[in-house]
Amino acid sequence: MVPTVVDTPGAQIWSVYISEAEKYDKALIDRWRGNMNGMLIFAGLFSAILTAFIIESYKTLQPDWTGACIAQVAAQQAANATGSLPLPIGITLPCEKFSMSLAGSLPTPASSLVCNILWFISLGLSLTSALTATLVEQWAREFLHWTDRLPSPIKRARIFAFLYYGLQRFHMHAFVDVIPLLLHMSLLFFFGGLVAFLFPVNQTVAYLAAGLLGIIVILYGFMTAAPLRLLDCPYKTPLSNILWNVRRYFLHQFKSNTEPQSLHLRSMVNAMIEEATVRSDAREARDKRALAWTMKSLTDDDQLESFVEGIPDMIWGPEGRRRKYDSLIRSLLHDPQVSLGSRIEHLMLSCESGLLEPMVKTRRQILCLRAIWCLGMMSEKGKDRDLLKDPDPLEPPPPDPLQPLNFFQSLRVLPLKTEVTSRYLPSIAALADWNNLCSLHGHVKKITASLQNSEVAFREGRLPDLYKLRLELEEFLAERRRCKWAYLIPTSYSGRNLDELLKEIKALSGKTEPLTPQASSDWVQRVSQIFTIIPTSFNSVQYRVLLSFLQQCTDLDRPAYGFDLVVQTLQADLEPVDVPVGLVVATLGDNVQKAIQLKNPSITHNDIILSTVLPWVDKAHGLSGEIAQRVNHSGMEYLNNRDSNEAICRALRDSNLTSVWERLTRGLETCGPELRGDYSKAMWHLASLFPGLSTPLDAQLSHWPNFTPSTLSVAPAPPYSASVIALLKTHILNAYDKAYVAKELSSHLQDLETLIKANPRPSVAGNNALIAAVRRIEVDWGLITAVCSLLLQFPTMGTRPLQLLAPFPTYTIQTYHAYTEWREQALAAVGTVTELLPRLDRRMEEARFAITSEFLQACSADAPELPYNAVETFESLSANLFVSRPAHRDNQEGFAVAISSLADTADITPDHSRLLNATINSPLFNDPQLPWLDNPTALSKMKRAVQMLQEHLNVGVEDGLTNRKLDDIGSWLEAKPLPLEPLGVELH
């Protein structure tokens, strides 16, 4: 049949269903047919044997006439021998009477009756099982035939579903399971009949058969009952499912007294699956044994390669690090009969045999390197916890001296650096160093615990196990010798080191006299002093491990394998102390040069390296003049020459922008005249990336530097000065807007005021909270002061005059009088600023307009050159600029003068043309009412400027869009009514 039009659209989906259903159904039918064939053969043989026994046994159901007659004659002869008289005439002899009534009067033996009943039942059950097995085979053939008749996928799928759910509806699975049960019962009935058959013949043989039957019944009962309790039991009979379901039924009836998640409420198959797969100690032990056996059985390198290929998948998944297989992998590493590390190294070494094809060799090397990398990523310092109280395998393990890469022979078999392996070797080398450091950390934790136990033993009057402690120290020193930066890890204190202490304890232990408690205690105390200072060096070693990795990655043309994950791992718990500033600065400079040379428009690993080291530079205090100059110069070069704002934002993402900005301003102040322009240019680039309303990159740099009144005191070189200052002014307003709208400023002020009022006297309890609140308000105070000083530069409409804020009073608790005086000054200052905030907010709109006007005046055509990136700067200043009411007349006239100055030139340069185009299309000219303009002088100058611009054709852009906008602006200006009287009243 040809599929119909209606069926065609769903044919592909239903074909998938057919493919899966066909696999399942055919496997089910094949299993049924195989079982039925076996049962038919057994039932046939068994029925033949049983019939031979029945032929002999059924005769015992008939009376034994011959025997009875012989017995009667014998009795008669015995009577004659005693002299009895002959019977009278007409009296029938007893033998004759017995002969006539034997058939109805001779009883059948009980054993014969039982034997035949059991055997005939056994025969019936055997033949019934054979018949049902034949029927099941027939039904199975018909099932396969019916599902293959039609070519249409949808119809075939529906027939599959119809027939399969019919099997479920009529419990075909249960029916098939009953057939073996019939055969088993038939066999048991046969053995029971055999015992009954043998009892009249020979009781010894009968007892032997009865014992055999008892053993069979007991074994059958065990095989029936065992799966009900032990789900992994391989023995099972058809009665097991029946008894399981009976118990399940009664448990469902009384499930209020049963755990809702009890396995016995599920089917036997589902219970077995859950028992086998749910996490448990037993499952972990089974998994370890299974994989250990697998590794032992892998003798071929190709088979081992497949196993090694699967290791990364057990450690890392789509969602990141997987810990649920950690104990399993660690067991394979620890097991000396498995030696997973040595097997991987052997597989890696086989690549150098010269017998492999180049592609096969490369593939095997990559598989081994990935496996080693993943094992290295399992290295971790661990977490102090009690496994008995907190056995969660998904949490970091306790500190362990034996880390995964400890089971490799120092990774000496790593391949040579090639184009393929160059990505993996730096990562593996760094993880090997990290593994070494984690191992040292585990040794220190282990020895520290032993030292504490020793001290407890001394207090309790016992001698500790110094031999065990000595072995632990030797293992620690051996691991330290493998560390690349062992010189950073101290092993001495007060003139005594661990090597000397070990020699001392060995010498003392070798004497015939036992160690005295005092000598042992002194020795333990000296070791404890050394191990008190050892952990303080690990932070410095960790910095060098990470920096060494970053330096190796610098020269790569692409990121090292797992670069981000390795950096994240090596940065774990890294404290900002003991920073190797020289290495950091060298790494910074090298990556700046490499990032500039690559000229990649997207983010590279060099940019990510910069984002890693820059926060360390921010936290490094007291840099020497030369190092500080190198840092400043590298930052300037990167900002000026890295042609990707996205990459720059990624590099600065985790940095303190205040520190970055201060380094640039410091470099501008201290550099020579030849570099002033470069630093000024870098300042513009950095300022253009600050977040806020003026930049589309606010999603990448989410904060500003801490602005203060001194922020605007920078003096960039021309032509950068006007652009940089204008951006800074706008960013100061943006930072204030964000903090004000989010109510951060008022919240901080309110919190500080509440704390001050709650602490009328200085107290230790309130001191820390006050210090934190004061530090937070000092940052806000700098921003508010910067806004005040900025607004004082411009005349504004409709608000009271402003005055510059005094610094926030310095907090002190030296004396009660000093604290009381500070408290009064602080409360007064908080009240002043609380009243000032809404006044500043009302001036924001016009202040933005004034900054834009000021910048346009700096872009006058009379100037020798436009400010740097004038168009981009203006677009940043005017983005989302909206003035809803008339501005101050000086600001209006200044804006109009700037527009007239740009338009009052016959030969407008392309840069001036682009700037005018940006101005005309700015948000200031989106509203036909032009609400910011009402001054007659400014209005007339604007009209003149528009008329002049309409005469310059080179101002227009494609499709005459700018010309049409100029016509609209001209008509808006003509329709603009002049005010009846000047507005200049200052409102309170």
Secondary structure, 3-state, 861-912: CCCCCCCCCHHHHHHHHHCCCCCCCCCCHHHHHHHHHHHHHHHCCCCCCHHH
Last residue of a domain, one of 276, 304, 334: 276
CA dihedral for 837, 841, 844, 847, sign (positive or negative): negative
Please count the other Cβ atoms lying within 10 Å of the Cβ belonging to residue 47.
Answer: 18
Q: What pLDDT is attached to residue 863?
A: 63
Q: Which residues contact 462 (CB under 8 A, 6 or more apart)?
A: none
How many structural domains is the chain composed of? 5
Phi, psi angles (nearest 5°) of residue 425: -60, -45
CA angle at 73 for the pair 72 and 74, rounded to the nearest 5°: 90
Give the Cα separation of 896 and 938 in Å (integer). 5
Are residues 432 and 389 located together in one domain of the fold? no
Last residue of a domain, one of 248, 276, 304: 276
Pair of tokens at residue 435: 């593994």
β-partners of residue 496 are 493
Are residues 58 and 143 located together in one domain of the fold? yes
Q: Return the amino acid letter for 965.
A: K
Give the Cα separation of 743 and 735 in Å (integer). 12
Q: Which residues contact 677 (CB under 8 A, 6 or more apart)?
A: 717, 720
Residue 786 lies in a domain: no
**Could you give the 3-state DSSP secondary structure of residue 493?**
strand
Are residues 174 and 29 located together in one domain of the fold? yes
Residue among 634, 632, 648 nearest 686 (CA): 648
Are residues 267 and 344 located together in one domain of the fold? no
Distance of CA 922 to the CA centre of its chain: 46
Q: Which residues contact 52 (CB under 8 A, 6 or more apart)?
A: none
Are residues 127 and 185 located together in one domain of the fold? yes
Phi, psi angles (nearest 5°) of residue 737: -55, -45
Query: Which residues form the domain of 262?
Result: 202-276
Are residues 271 and 311 located together in one domain of the fold? no
Give the Cα separation of 205 and 531 in Å (integer). 82
Please count the other Cβ atoms lying within 10 Å of the Cβ belonging to residue 101.
Answer: 10
Give the Cα separation of 861 and 981 in Å (integer). 33
Residue 360 lies in a domain: yes
Give the Cα separation of 783 and 778 in Å (integer). 9
Q: Return the amino acid letter for 462.
A: R
Residue 157 lies in a domain: yes
Are residues 447 and 553 located together in one domain of the fold? yes
Residue 778 lies in a domain: no
Residue among 556, 555, 553, 557 nearest 609 (CA): 553
**Could you give the 3-state DSSP secondary structure of residue 616?**
helix
Residue 739 lies in a domain: no
Q: What pLDDT is attached to residue 285?
A: 86
Are residues 248 and 138 located together in one domain of the fold? no
CB-based contacts of 143-152 (< 8 A; 24+ apart in sequence): 143/25, 143/29, 144/26, 144/29, 147/22, 147/25, 150/1, 151/1, 151/2, 151/3, 152/1, 152/2, 152/3, 152/4, 152/7, 152/11
Rounded (10°) angle between helices 563-570 and 605-619:
20
Give the Cα separation of 441 and 380 in Å (integer). 9
Residue 926 lies in a domain: yes
pTM: 0.77
Residue 430 lies in a domain: yes
Are residues 488 and 356 located together in one domain of the fold? no
- Is the bond into 415 cis (omega within 30 degrees of 0)? no
Stretch (H or E) spanning 787? helix 764-791
Residue 618 lies in a domain: no
Are residues 63 and 189 located together in one domain of the fold? yes
Stretch (H or E) spanning 294? helix 281-297
Last residue of a domain, one of 250, 276, 302: 276
Are residues 180 and 220 located together in one domain of the fold? no
Determine contact, residues 949/966, Cβ cutoff 8 Å.
Answer: yes
Q: What pLDDT is attached to residue 641?
A: 94
Please count the other Cβ atoms lying within 10 Å of the Cβ belonging to residue 955.
Answer: 21
Determine contact, residues 292/332, Cβ cutoff 8 Å.
Answer: yes
Helical ranges in 11-109 per DSSP H:
11-57, 65-81, 94-105
Block mean pLDDT (10 aa), the chain, length 988: 49 73 76 77 76 72 60 63 52 49 57 79 81 80 72 75 79 78 81 78 80 83 83 80 82 64 74 80 85 87 90 87 88 91 91 88 93 94 73 79 89 80 93 95 94 90 87 93 91 86 80 75 90 92 94 91 93 86 92 92 92 88 84 94 91 90 92 93 92 52 85 91 94 91 91 89 78 90 92 79 86 82 92 92 90 89 78 88 87 89 69 85 89 89 85 50 78 77 41
In this structure, the chain runs to a length of: 988
Q: What pLDDT is attached to residue 200?
A: 77
Q: Which residues contact 703 (CB under 8 A, 6 or more apart)?
A: 657, 691
Are residues 500 and 529 located together in one domain of the fold? yes
